[in-house]
Amino acid sequence: MKHCKDAVCFIATIGDGVEKEIARLTEEERLFDAYILESMGSMAVENMVDAFFKDMETKYNAQDKGITLRFSPGYCDWSVKEQKKLFRLIDATRIDVTLTDSCLMHPRKSISGIFGIHPFDGDNPVFQYNPCSDCMKKDCTARRA
Ligand code: SF4
């Protein structure tokens, strides 16, 4: 990121409808259905952010710029407490996303993050660097291949 001239910060959510339904299913002791819906909700918000990220990549590539991988507070070596900084930059109340005292987002199916924008240089290893390739956290569900 230190080589980037600009950065994009984002907060995205699929809302709280899914988690309300999960709570209802759990109350009815339909735990398997709740588990499936939990997984589907996580995939839905991830897919939404992936689509946004790909759109941004296309947009910046057309301007002869590249973008880094995206990073989120609470992953890698970025403390979840830094979530507050992102929320100071973006008015998340417009999409009804709030932070708890422990810096978790509500609705839970929300993702915040940042990626850098750099002059296009597809051969520059700094811009292609993927920290997951050097990371020892083998059980990380966010590992990028
Ligand atoms: S595997 Fe990748 S995403 Fe997961 S903690 Fe390591 S660097 Fe971060």
Domain count, the chain: 1
Is 40 inside a domain boundary?
Answer: yes
Task: Give me the domain span that covers residue 28.
Answer: 6-134
Nearest to residue 68, comparing CAs of 37, 113, 102, 26? 113
- Mean pLDDT of all residues belonging to the chain: 91
| Overall pTM > 0.85 | yes
Is 26 inside a domain boundary?
Answer: yes
Is 25 inside a domain boundary?
Answer: yes
Residue 3, token pair as written in the block: 């080589």
CATH of residue 23:
3.40.109.40
114 CA distance to ligand 1 middle (Å): 15
User: Which ligand 1 atom is at minimum distance from the Cα of 76?
Assistant: 8
Distance separating alpha carbons of residues 74 and 104, to the nearest angstrom = 9
The answer, yes or no, to whether residue 59 has pLDDT greater than 70, is: yes
What pLDDT, on a 0 to 100 scale, did the predictor assign at position 18? 96
26 CA distance to ligand 1 middle (Å): 31
Is 58 inside a domain boundary?
Answer: yes
User: Which ligand 1 atom is at minimum distance from the Cα of 142?
Assistant: 3
CB-ligand 1 contact for 75 (6 Å cutoff):
yes
User: Which ligand 1 atom is at minimum distance from the Cα of 131?
Assistant: 7
Provide Rg for the chain, Cα atoms.
Answer: 17
Distance separating alpha carbons of residues 124 and 132, to the nearest angstrom = 18
Is 38 inside a domain boundary?
Answer: yes
Is 22 inside a domain boundary?
Answer: yes
pLDDT bin (cut points 50, 70, 90) of residue 50 is very high
CB-ligand 1 contact for 135 (6 Å cutoff):
yes
Is 144 inside a domain boundary?
Answer: no
27 CA distance to ligand 1 middle (Å): 34
12 CA distance to ligand 1 middle (Å): 20
What pLDDT, on a 0 to 100 scale, did the predictor assign at position 75? 84
